[in-house]
Structure 1
C-alpha cells in the first residue's frame, strides 16, 4: 500500500485560491446552475404535456 499523501496548509490555501480565481471555475459554476434549472423546467413541461395528452397519446 502507498503511504498516505500529505499536504501542507500553505499548499492547500494556494491551490484553492488559484482555483477560485480562475475564470473557468466561475464560468462552470454559473452555467451549471442555469443549465440544471433549464433541464428541470423542460422535463416538467414535457411530463405535463404527456399527462395532458389524454388516452390517445401525443400525435407525432
Structure 2
C-alpha cells in the first residue's frame, strides 16, 4: 500500500508540474507545492490566472 501511495504522489507532482508549464507558471515551484499538498495542488493551479492567455499567446 505504501508503494501505491508513493507512486500516486509522484504522479500528482508530475501532473502539477506539467499543468503549471502549460499555464505559464514555474514548473519547479509547482512541483514543490504538489510535493507538500499532494492532490490539492491540481485544483490550486486552476485557481491562479493563466499567464499564456494574458499575454495573447495561445499555448
- TM-score, normalized by length of structure 1? 0.43
- Higher RCO (Cα < 8 Å, 6 or more apart): 2
Q: Which protein has the larger Cα radius of gyration, Structure 1 or Structure 2? A: 1
Structure number having the greater helix percentage: 2
